[in-house]
Structure 1
Amino acid sequence: MNINRLEKGILLIESLTFAKNCSCFSEIINILGKLVYSDIIRQIDYLKVENTILRSKLGRRVKISKNEKRRLIKYGKPLKNTLKELISIASYSTFRKWVQALEGFTESNPPVGRPRITTEEIRQLIIQMASNNNWGYTRILGELKKLGIKRFSRNTVRNILIEYGFDPVPKRSKDTWGDFIHRHFETLWACDFFTKKVWTLLGPKTFFILFFINIQTRKVFIAGMTQNPTQEWVINQSKAIAHIFETDKESDIILIRDGDKKFSKEFNESLLKEYDVNVHQIPFRSPNMNPYAEGWVGTVKRECLNHFIVLGVSHLKHIITEFVNYYNTVRPHSSLGNRPIDYQDNNDGDILCDSRLGGVISHYHRE
């Protein structure tokens, strides 16, 4: 005889009601409960072992957000002392501190006095002090005490810096050439020569072009060009454009040059005495220490001079003048965000193309 679901449910309820008073049925329920409970215990034991293995693979303290702490407290607090055998993401004492902090600092019971700086904020402050000042462990500890942070020791500061990859002060405080350039960036200049073969009535001749480049603005200035650049010629040509070193900044003006014999001791002294320019000579065969000047030599040759057979000095002057004007006004520079030196936004007007030197250099602009 077929019985529908409702009829089956009614029969099941009646059967349970009848069996409820039976001691035999109660014993069966107890046995089933123990079986289910023991199975849950085995599952929990497995999860504890798996969690311990996963925690050991992390290798460092797990950072927990405030929301995650609240969730752990919500589900862990009802377990009471049983939680001691389960918790692995932090110690049980740490969990108790979380609970006390949550219960003690509610909206109904706000903290009194100055807010306490958290441990993570202090760690970041220590890293900032070490990065910006090259201070040692003791000096940093002294600065912390000045701020009222007294629960840190010298070894704690040391361990934090080691954790973040900071060497001791003797290794950390070594000044590099890059640091020097960065420190004087706003008033730093560089100079050098580049050459170009020029065809004259007497055959091919090599001309030397002296230039100066401002590291901050990237503007280039041509001091002169000649077949025979003597030390006296270099001094005279430098004096002729010395106005480029005028600045309102109080920092010393630094000029980087290589060890070329055309730059004499008198060259250094004249710039220092008359224009207050400190000349720094880079070591022998170290072009990477004058990267901006070397980079510009590569640019002017690659983008301009290599495309021409120069016929006479006038031709050379015209080519270089056109390229320097293009370089200083409309050519985009990667170091300036791929924009020209004196860039101004202009989103209106038709787009036009301006070509120079027979199309070797060109740029787009709005009318």
Structure 2
Amino acid sequence: MEAAAAYRATAPPKEIRNLIIQLGTENPRWGFRRAHGELRRLGHKVSPATVRRVLRAAGLRPAPRRQPARGEWAAFLKAQASGLLATDLFHVDTIDLQRLYALFIMEVRTRTVHILGVTAHPSAAWATQQARQFLWQLGDRAAEFTHIIRDRDTKFTATFDAVFASEDITVAKVPPRSPNCNPHAERFIRSAREECTDRVLLFDRGHAEKILHDYAHHFNSHRPHQGRDQLAPSDNPNVIPLPAARIKRRQAVAGLINEYHRAS
């Protein structure tokens, strides 16, 4: 009885409770932290614990949590975060079982993701060319970065490393068979698969590339990140709270993902 009374005393207003339940119902893959992030983006500073209580009371189960990197490597990631890039390859399959490979780079400080390319035949030369193109597009911003993390995939050769060395960006190789040492890249791959590529039929390379670019746009412009106070990379941190009744849903990435915004 005392616990119930304490909950009622700290419960958010009814319209916010309804919004939390709406987010949880419309997005069954979200956990309470993801729902909390969406509320934060909409200007509602409800605590994560409150979101969890409301979702649990409504019978909505939380999503599994990831394990963070630990030890000296985690300290390195934290110390270098402001100038850190992370890169990796991951595969997706088309409806005719063709395996494709996507190469991306993340700006760790802001969590901004760049999809560099998608191919059925990744090679060291292809990866190196994508790296050159990425740095050319960055232009003067390349000076903001000091390190890039990569694994020991054979596509990442000395020539690939030299592209970044030419801009005074040091390559940090993770230990063998240690994907957790590139946690930001691994987390993006997990998110891209769970929220996007595992839920859509990909017809060919061009379709896969478009879907991944659309997802990266969502990831950069709308998806909240715990490491950024639940803001998307391009979010304004001083957002004005939106009345719950004026928040509308729209679908993105071929209807796979829900985004929430102010009603016009």
Q: The TM-score by the shorter chain falls in which range?
A: 0.5 to 0.7
- Give structure 2 stretches of 5+ with no counterpart: 1-70
Aligned to 2:227, the other structure's residue is in SS state: helix
The answer to whether structure 1 residue 346 and structure 2 residue 240 are counterparts is: yes
The alignment partner of 1:176 has SS state of helix
- Alignment partner, residue 71 of structure 1: none
Tell me the residue number matched to 2:215: 323
Q: CA-to-partner distance for each residue in 1:224-263, whole Å, 9 max, x for gaps?
A: 111111111111011111133744877x610000000000
Query: Aligned residue for 2:148?
Result: 255
Q: Which of 241, 245, 253 is equivalent to 1:357?
A: 253
Deviation per residue, 1:66-125 (Å, 9 max, x gap): xxxxxxxxxxxxxxxxxxxxxxxxxxxxxxxxxxxxxxxxxxxxxxxxxxxxxxxxxxxx
Cα 1:249–1:207 change in 2 (3 A) is closer
The equivalent residue for 1:90 is: none
Q: Which residues in structure 2 correspond to 1:6-17 (within 5 Å)? A: none
- Separation in structure 1 between the aligned mates of residue 106 and residue 84 of structure 2, nearest angstrom: 9
The 3 A distance-change label for structure 1 pair 322 and 312 is: same
The AA in structure 2 aligned to 1:285 is: R
Task: Select which of 286, 307, 322 maps to 2:199.
Answer: 307
1:270 to 163, 168, 181: 163
Q: TM-score, normalised by structure 1?
A: 0.48
Aligned to 1:187: 83
Give distance in 2, aligned partners of 1:207 and 1:348: 41
SS state at 1:210 partner: strand
The match for 2:224 among 332, 339, 357 is: 332
SS of alignment partner, residue 221 of structure 1? strand
Root mean square deviation of aligned Cα: 2.0
Residue deviations 1:140-193, cap 9 Å, x none? xxxxxxxxxxxxxxxxxxxxxxxxxxxxxxxxxxx8112211221100010000
Q: Check conservation: 1:195, 1:209, Cα contact below 8 A.
A: yes
Per the alignment, do residues 221 and 248 of structure 1 end up closer, same or farther by CA in structure 2, a change over 3 Å counting? closer
Separation (CA, whole Å) in 2 of partners of 1:249 and 1:330: 26
Distance in structure 2 (CA, Å) of the matches to 1:210 and 1:326: 17
TM-score by length of 2: 0.66
- Shift of the 248–296 alpha-carbon distance from structure 1 to 2, 3 Å rule, reads closer
AA aligned opposite 2:79 = R
Which of 81, 100, 103 pairs up with 1:210?
A: 103
* Separation of aligned partners in 1, 2:142 and 2:202: 40
1:296 to 188, 199, 207: 188
| Cα deviation code 1:198-233 (max 9, x no counterpart) | 13xxx4210000000111100000111111111111
User: By how many angstroms is 1:270 displaced?
Assistant: 2.3
TM-aligned CA distance change 1:314 to 1:247, over 3 Å? closer
* Aligned counterparts of 1:312 and 1:306: Cα–Cα separation in 2: 15
Q: Deviations over 1:122-149 (max 9, x none)?
A: xxxxxxxxxxxxxxxxxxxxxxxxxxxx
2:121 counterpart (225, 228, 238): 228
> How far apart are 1:322 and its partner, in Å?
1.2
**1:256–1:279: 8 Å Cα contact kept in structure 2?**
yes
SS in 1 for 2:148: strand
Structure 1 distance, partners of 2:142, 2:177, is 34
Cα distance change of structure 1 residues 184 and 353 upon mapping to structure 2, 3 Å threshold: same
Q: Does structure 2 conserve the Cα–Cα contact (< 8 Å) formed by 1:245 and 1:253?
A: no
Which residue in 2 is equivalent to 1:286? 178
Following the alignment from structure 1 to structure 2, what is the Cα–Cα distance between the partners of residues 176 and 358? 41
Does structure 1 conserve the Cα–Cα contact (< 8 Å) formed by 2:119 and 2:205?
no
Kindly indicate which of the two structures has a greater share of residues assigned to helix.
1
- Percent identical among aligned pairs is 27
Q: What SS does structure 1 have at the residue aligned with 2:94?
A: strand
The residue type paired with residue 353 of structure 1 is R
- Residue by residue, what CA displacement relative to the aligned partner does 1:284-315 show, whole Å, maximum 9, x if unpaired? 10111111101110000001111012111222
d(CA) in 1 for partners of 2:252 and 2:210?
11
What pairs with 1:69-80 in structure 2 (closer than 5 Å)?
none
SS of equivalent residue, structure 1 residue 261: coil
CA distance in 2 between counterparts of 1:245 and 1:278 reads: 17
